Structure 1
Amino acid sequence: MQNNTDKTDFSAYFILLLPPLFWSGNFVVGRAVADAHAPLGLSFSRWLLAFFLLLPFIIKPIWQQRHIIKAHFWGLVLLAFLSITCFNSIAYVALQYTTATNATLLNSFIPIFIFVISGVFFKEKINVKQVLGVLVSLLGVIAIITRLDIEVLQHLTVNKGDLWMLLAALVWALYSILLKYLRPKEMSAMAFLGTLIIIGTIILYPVTLWNPLNEPDITWNSEMLKAVFYIAIFPSIIAYLSWNYGLNKIGAAKGGQYIHLMPFFGAILAIAFLGETIQLFHLAGGCCIAMGLWLSLSKAR
């Protein structure tokens, strides 16, 4: 029995590598089409396409588990509101006003929010290694963002985009924590994700029509279509399934540390698609992040 548990835990640790990788790609793609998209419109298009792509796989399990959905309806509404409706919409709004550097740094506050909220409000046990791991990983994030140049850190400024991104990070931290308490354990992964997408997109639809930010219409072209398909499949479907599975197995406090991999993966993607070269700050930051993850995920002695 112990061996089976170890195998399950190991698979969760591996699968949790996928969300930060695909979410990093989401930032890269989002920035690439920034001039052609509206934040709320992009978020709605993303989830609407994800729904249609998943429809053949979710319609049967959702129908079969409708009694579970009914019994846990309001908890599912809250999870859908935080994850599907709010997080990406707020993040896309933030990227209209702040730089990718600032957004990535603020996104790395998610594990810190998870630690604080989990420890203070949910009494989740946090050991010294986990706290040290957060700090070491955060140093790695700062090393990558600042390129080991202290002047870059000194010139980081706070604007309304930064505040939006900080709010997005808080929203995702709340979702990650509540996932453990509100997700019905007897509900399948496909039925759960499908239900969240349906509820979250329904909530997002009238907000998009209302257009409180006075967004222009999305400029649809081949590049925008490719971008929406990418973010609908990888950051939306695959990343969410992986995140939900991993946190359900190892908890939000441990799993949340994987968010610190986003700046590292972002640098790798920039090297692969933008022709940048590996530099010292990539290696230094990657080593710190890896050490921080090891500390956070290792058992307390």
Structure 2
Amino acid sequence: MLDETNKKYGFLLLILANMIWGGNFVIGRIGVDYFPPLLFSLLRWIIAFLLLTPFMVKQLKKDWNIIWHHKRILLLLAVTGVAGYNTIIYFALQYTTSINASVVNSTTPLFIAILAIFILREKLLARQAAGILLSVFGILYIISKGSIEMFLSWKINAGDLYVLAAVIMWASYSVIGKKYSDVLPMLTSFYASAFIGILLLAPLSFIEYLVMERSPVFTLPSAGILLYVGFLASVMAFLSWNFGVSLIGAAKAGIFLNLLPVFAIIFTLSFTEEKLYLYQIIGGGIVTLGVVISSKKSLRIKNHVQENKSSA
């Protein structure tokens, strides 16, 4: 009875995490109207870091020797997962829709599978290869809006390509984190990489201000946006996901990632003026089918989610 109750709580936590991350694409799309991308990402992680600090100081002292010994790895995690992924996503959302971004982002497991071949020496199975090719076709279908003429003339939204770059960043973060998951303590590594990410983003944000000469807009709505991305998307969703995974297991939890674009589409249609087009439905279906086919034989790769999922 207790196991069944734990599973129910686990399912609810996993659904909650993906609901928050799905909403993050919509909130992020609105947020870039108030803040430049680099500053937006910087403020997000400052809030997350400050909220975590009271609970992490003692644990950081306990894990300090391990953290310091692997400082180069933490730097890589900060560059790819904290500073890289989030900033590129916010930059991309200036040029593409929340729906496109969330669907393209759902290909993350496929890019992880590709990088795992080179970094983790994973074997590429036939079903994985088929799923990857199918999902690549789905991505191309979405970013070309289902038009062969648009694809051949390369009239493709740059924002969708930026999302792909962000996905590669996140896949790198996930594979690196998986490689060192037996060594690095999960929460402390997340906390430390967030701090390093802040140190990286601060000077870049200052340069952004000098170049763009764009000032942030601090209002009640923009404060709510920062609270969402800083607390809900960075801390609450991260903890919900990891506790959920611990209750039902990483292999079973992996399928819940497919809920992220679903929630993103629901929130987008409910709270913004974006519309859902046929090419997005078709392309999204192709991408999802590719992910499902690829994931059938790659449950080990999905373990990356347990150690690394901290933002979307």
TM superposition score category, shorter chain reference: 0.7 to 0.9
Q: CA 1:36–1:170 in structure 2 vs 1: closer, same or farther (change >3 Å)? A: same
Q: 2:217 aligns to what SS in structure 1?
A: coil
Q: CA deviation at 1:30?
A: 1.7
Partner of 1:192: 189
Q: CA deviation at 1:100?
A: 3.1
Partner of 1:57: 55
More displaced, 267-276 or 205-214?
Answer: 267-276
Q: CA deviation at 1:299?
A: 5.6
Alpha-carbon distance in 1 for matches of 2:202, 2:281: 43
Partner of 1:26: 24
Alpha-carbon distance in 1 for matches of 2:158, 2:262: 25
The one-character-per-residue Cα deviations of 1:90-146 (angstroms, maximum 9, x if unpaired) are: 111122233334433432332222222212443213444545556777888899x79
Q: 1:123 aligns to what SS in structure 2?
A: coil
Q: 1:153 aligns to what SS in structure 2?
A: coil
Say whether 1:110 aligns with 2:108: yes
Alpha-carbon distance in 1 for matches of 2:196, 2:237: 18
Say whether 1:270 aligns with 2:268: yes
Kept after mapping to 1: 8 A contact 2:99/2:264: no
Give the letter for the 2:121 counterpart.
K
Q: 1:106 aligns to what SS in structure 2?
A: helix
Matches for 1:29-44 after TM superposition, within 5 Å = 29-44=27-42
Match for residue 208 of structure 1 among 205, 208, 213? 205
Q: CA deviation at 1:186?
A: 5.5
The one-character-per-residue Cα deviations of 1:224-246 (angstroms, maximum 9, x if unpaired) are: 01111011122212334466785
More displaced, 284-293 or 204-213?
Answer: 284-293
Q: CA 1:167–1:13 in structure 2 vs 1: closer, same or farther (change >3 Å)? A: farther
Give RMSD over aligned pairs: 4.2
What TM-score, normalized to structure 2?
0.72
Alpha-carbon distance in 1 for matches of 2:112, 2:213: 32
Match for residue 169 of structure 2 among 148, 167, 171? 171
Give the letter for the 1:239 counterpart.
A
What TM-score, normalized to structure 1?
0.74
Number of residue pairs the alignment of both structures matches: 286
Alpha-carbon distance in 2 for matches of 1:178, 1:199: 16
Where does structure 2 lack aligned partners over 5 or more consecutive residues?
A: 299-312
Give the letter for the 1:167 counterpart.
A
Q: CA 1:119–1:242 in structure 2 vs 1: closer, same or farther (change >3 Å)? A: farther
Kept after mapping to 1: 8 A contact 2:18/2:263: yes
Matches for 1:70-219 after TM superposition, within 5 Å = 70-131=68-129, 152-154=145-147, 157-183=155-181, 185=183, 187=185, 189-211=186-208, 214=212, 216-219=214-217
Partner of 2:305: none
Identity %: 32
Where does structure 1 lack aligned partners over 5 or more consecutive residues?
A: none
Q: CA deviation at 1:33?
A: 3.4
Alpha-carbon distance in 1 for matches of 2:77, 2:192: 10
Q: CA 1:113–1:99 in structure 2 vs 1: closer, same or farther (change >3 Å)? A: same
Alpha-carbon distance in 1 for matches of 2:64, 2:122: 31
Alpha-carbon distance in 2 for matches of 1:135, 1:20: 25
